[in-house]
Amino acid sequence: MITPSPQSLAIAALVGLLSGTHAAIWGMYKDAIHEGFAAGRFARSMLVGVAAAVAIQAALALAVPGAAALVTLFGLAYAAERGLVEVWKTFVREEDQSKYFIPMQFSVRGVPVTRRGPRLAAGAAYVAVVALGLLAVAGLDGETPAPPAPARAALVGLAVGLVVAIGGAWKDAPKEGFDALKFFRSPAMTVLFTLLLYRLTDSYLTATVAAIGYERATAETYKTFFFPAKPRGKFTGKPVLHPEMLARRRRFVPAYVAICAAVIASGALALRDAVPGDRGAPARVAGVRP
């Protein structure tokens, strides 16, 4: 068991801050024109991202500041932050849902479950199912240092992508209708990212969870900045109550682009330096090069 150094935890905190800032910016960019800018809401993703990244680094002792470890950690922190925040918003938070076209609380056929008890029970069941799924994926890593086969990695990526897609369809389809292209977008991206990340790690679990993070980052970047005039689905048909944010939100774009550029550059460097056949070295399981 390798104990992470204070320096590696500090680097992890920075990675988590960047991943949380990325999520906070795209969330604010679409929502603030309807809800206004709230510093606490904006900082939430940043703080959760920092905590998630530090916890992950403490558990895995990734070989930061190596490019492969940084890229992997960014995806893991992103997935953890999105998972924690979405579970809280869906099952725990009490909020007036009338301001949304698509309810953000747990819903059945588009109707929010208003009773807290059943909602918390549904949340507990959801978390348990996700945990069991992650344990099943972790079981594929086994005891041996052999690297995972690309075909198996792709199948695992497909499975987790379908879980993401089903969750999205459960929430959105009752209001928007079923969109096959939108549904299969997530599985396609998680397969792609799992295949790329599997070149940097010998763990199915690490590769697929990080792939979820990159799928969320990519999908939301596409929806937010390629179609800036189109409101997020949850605000379809809702009025723009804070038009001043149309200009103010642009100030955050340079930081967003810089984070994207840094991640892409690090990913290119990590993939360039990936050594086929070296993924199975035992030290790489903990993210540390021999």
Query: Using one digit for the tens of pLDDT, what is the confidence trace for 239-248?
Result: 899 999 999 9
Tell me, what's the pLDDT at 144? 52
Tell me, what's the pLDDT at 279? 44
SS3 of residue 111 by DSSP? strand
Q: Is residue 101 part of a domain?
A: yes
Structure tokens of 271? 């993939």
- Name the percent of the chain lying above pLDDT 90: 58
Q: Is residue 75 part of a domain?
A: yes
Q: Total domain count for the chain? A: 1
SS3 of residue 112 by DSSP? strand
CB-CB contact of 175 with 133 (8 Å):
no
Q: Is residue 125 part of a domain?
A: yes
CB-CB contact of 212 with 137 (8 Å):
no
Domain with 54 in it:
6-285
Q: Is residue 59 part of a domain?
A: yes
CB-CB contact of 193 with 75 (8 Å):
yes
pTM score over 0.85? yes
Separation between Cα atoms, residue 5 and residue 252, nearest integer Å: 33
Q: Is residue 162 part of a domain?
A: yes
Tell me, what's the pLDDT at 148? 54
Q: Is residue 290 part of a domain?
A: no
Separation between Cα atoms, residue 177 and residue 209, nearest integer Å: 28
Q: Is residue 1 part of a domain?
A: no
Q: What is the pLDDT of residues 35-67, one digit of tens each?
A: 999 999 999 999 999 999 999 999 999 999 999
| Helical axes 6-35 vs 39-60, angle rounded to 10° | 150
Q: Is residue 257 part of a domain?
A: yes
243 vs 48, 266, 275, CA distance in Å?
A: 29, 36, 51
